[in-house]
Chains A and B, each alone.
Chain A
Amino acid sequence: DVKVTQSSRYLVKRTGEKVFLECVQDMDHENMFWYRQDPGLGLRLIYFSYDVKMKEKGDIPEGYSVSREKKERFSLILESASTNQTSMYLCASRVDKGGKSNQPQHFGDGTRLSIL
């Protein structure tokens, strides 16, 4: 079974801090994604990566950056945390060989981040 592991289930940080959320997948997937989920707004894509050191902005990249130095690990960075970044953050991965994939996307358990 595919395993997507997020480093923390719950995290509390202070305004202005630099925050790192880590995600690791064990299935050699090319694609990795970071979403945030808020009541009434659904899932929104922050950033995704289709290969090591490659990244693309999603719908709401402002205030965030990402890092993918190894294929299995995708990190989300809040450069200077603000209260409006309090949310549930979900990491996902999906195999995508040759740009085509009929394999499902797999999600981690999420990180509930509170910024005080």
Chain B
Amino acid sequence: KQEVTQIPAALSVPEGENLVLNCSFTDSAIYNLQWFRQDPGKGLTSLLLIQSSQREQTSGRLNASLDKSSGRSTLYIAASQPGDSATYLCAVLLYGNNRLAFGKGNQVVVIP
């Protein structure tokens, strides 16, 4: 069974610092990996999807990398802003599987 881990569960950073969020998974036979953002009391918003053949994806201030062999993905958010405060979840889709396996998320607070 695929296990997805995100540590730490919560972190705070001062505004302007770069955010680095880590996601690890146990089964490297992934089809893709997706990063989501969740604001309190809301649904999940897709941020980036990395296919298994890719090493990274970028969207604006966000960059996600993927290292399948080590079972890791990292989400970088450059020059963090208070509006980046949210919970960030990663999820992986395995080959031959129809369902995402989710981590429990990193709750981020950006301090003005």
Contact = CB atoms under 8 A, between A and B. Distances in A.
Interface of A: 4, 31, 33, 40, 42-43, 45, 48, 50, 56, 58, 88, 90, 92, 96, 100-110, 112
- Sort A-B residue pairs by CB-CB distance and give the 7 closest, nearest first: A107-B43, A104-B46, A42-B104, A107-B44, A109-B43, A43-B102, A110-B43
Contact of A104 (B34, B41, B99): B34
Given A109-B42, A110-B42, A104 B102 contact: no
Contacts of B99: 33, 45, 48, 58
A50 B42 contact: no
Contacts of B44: 90, 92, 107
Interface residues of B, number: 22
Contact of A106 (B31, B46, B89): B46
Contacts of B34: 104-105
Contacts of A43: 89, 102
Interface of B: 31-32, 34, 36, 41-46, 49, 51, 89, 91, 93, 98-100, 102-105
27 contacts: A31-B98, A40-B104, A42-B102, A42-B103, A42-B104, A42-B105, A43-B102, A48-B98, A48-B99, A56-B98, A88-B41, A90-B43, A102-B31, A102-B32, A102-B49, A102-B51, A103-B49, A104-B46, A105-B100, A106-B46, A107-B36, A107-B44, A109-B42, A109-B43, A110-B41, A110-B42, A110-B43
